[in-house]
Amino acid sequence: MKKTLIGVAIGMVLGAGLLFGVLAYISGNPTGKVSAFDNTTIEYGLHDIGELATESYNFTKVETYESTKQLSGITIPFTKSKFIYSYNGVIKAGIEFGDVVLNFNTEDKVVTVKLPQTKILSSELDYDSFKLYDEKNSIFNPIGVEVVNESNNNLLTSAEEQAIKGGLLERAEENAKLIITNFINGYLEDYTVQFE
């Protein structure tokens, strides 16, 4: 009985090995290793990511708004309105992965990547972080909602300029390159990835 069980087990192992060998040979890949790739899989995978923020810039920005009424270049007394406030916010930058262009050189095993321009994807204020430091509102020159909106837009524009000067777009591009390199190397370990 023991010899019969051992014989059955050996037969099953040999049968499985024979079956694997026949299937590998029929499929045209007798080694059973994956040696070819379909570059569309990699391209579609990258394009499916869509728009991706690869770097963010957190900020706290103080804004001052001041307004007076004037008549013939002379400031009218009691018309000065002023407020000083701050908001926290975040600016995100990245690329549109759908615009990434890949060129595959299978002979040299090199993938050349052309990136779209890195851009600011969003600028957001955290309205819960609002702090008012000073407020003087003249009844002769009241501050309206449109003034507050304009002041907030100025605050975001100023924060974006500061983020760009601080290297936000360059860091976003470097992070995008790292993401793309790791993505491609996940499929093609023995390929070199270079950027135009």
Phi–psi pair at 96, nearest 5 degrees:
-95, 105
pLDDT of residue 35: 42
pLDDT band at 145 (very low <50, low <70, confident <90, very high): low
Q: Which domain holds residue 58?
A: 36-195
Same domain, 28 and 98: no
The pLDDT of residue 118 is above 70: yes
Same domain, 65 and 116: yes
The pLDDT of residue 107 is above 80: yes
Same domain, 74 and 145: yes
Same domain, 81 and 29: no
Tens-digit pLDDT profile for residues 21-58: 433 444 444 443 334 556 776 776 767 777 788 899 99
Residue 84 exposed, middle or buried by CB count within 10 Å (0-12, 13-18, 19+):
middle
Cα radius of gyration (the chain)? 31
Same domain, 4 and 60: no
Better pLDDT: 32 or 143: 143
The pLDDT of residue 185 is above 80: yes
The answer to whether 116 touches 172, Cβ cutoff 8 Å, is: no
HEC sequence for 182-195: HHHHHHCCCCEEEE
Domain count, the chain: 2
Same domain, 158 and 108: yes
| C-alpha closest to that of 97 among 126, 72, 119 | 119
Q: Give the pTM.
A: 0.67
